Amino acid sequence: MPTTSVDGLKVDYTDAGVGLPLVFVAGLFGSVEWFRYQLSGLSSRYRVLGYNLRPARGRADYSLDLLVHDLVRFLDKLKVHAAVVVGHTLGAMVALKFAAVHPERALAVVAVSAAASFVGVGEEDMLARLSPGEIEQESLLTRLWRRLAGARTAIDDDGDPLAYLARHGGAADRATVGARLRLLRKIDITPVLAELEAPTLVIAGARDWSRILGGSQLIDQGVVDSTIEVLEDADHFCFFTRHDIFNAVLDDFVSHKVPRT
């Protein structure tokens, strides 16, 4: 996986395909590897980008503004002026705030399994509802073995797709998880929704947490140019567990809402 430097921070990212840029922003526990099906399924039509959110590393200023700044600098580094930004949960908050602050750079926004606010929600509830399972951090030896043996496909993970997500979590250290949980519990982006000019697609799984389903509806109601899709028989990780339907919905939205130049 290639890496780049964003303000001195090493960032893992993916970049495949050509054409209209789609950039995927992971959520609370996610990593760029969670979007493997979007990379393989959409890169024949788009330039598909993804990157890992920064770890906390004891930063007192771990904030939504900092994460939005990282997204701007990441796009600058790859010489992408404007993109469709797709975010999952915390990543959706980053995408929505990015579109409000930098409207000229947001061709469209896709908010996946999202809510505008988690203020008042307990950390235990968020951990239980937003995690694919116990997040594992691979050792250097394990990573070397995987590289030599070849990466296993998602369907090889004991028949449980969430096992793959847990194995490839991007927020394995407690400091980062804690910082992201605190961030989620204190921010409310509801006020910025009315400022969004970019066409917005809100996607949720019908079997997701009621907080997410209700929050997705509120985002849809708050954004002027918004569409909402609730995927049947889909959960919080609908972009992965129902990637075929998810990709088709996203592709249809972008095809109709974002003009090709």
Residue 31 lies in a domain: yes
Is the pTM of the predicted complex or chain greater than 0.85? yes
Residue 102 lies in a domain: yes
Residue 229 lies in a domain: yes
pLDDT digits (tens, 9 = 90+) for 10-29: 888 999 999 999 999 998 88
Residue 149 lies in a domain: no
pLDDT digits (tens, 9 = 90+) for 40-56: 999 999 999 999 999 98
Residue 200 lies in a domain: yes
**b/e per residue 15-34 (b: at least 16 CB within 10 A):** bebeebbbbbbbbbbbbbbb
Tokens of 245: 């339907």
CA distance 172 to 138: 9
Domain count across the chain = 1
Predicted local confidence at residue 133, as pLDDT: 74
Residue 137 lies in a domain: no
Q: Which amino acid is at 87?
A: G
pLDDT digits (tens, 9 = 90+) for 102-111: 999 999 999 9
Range of the domain at 237: 3-132+173-256
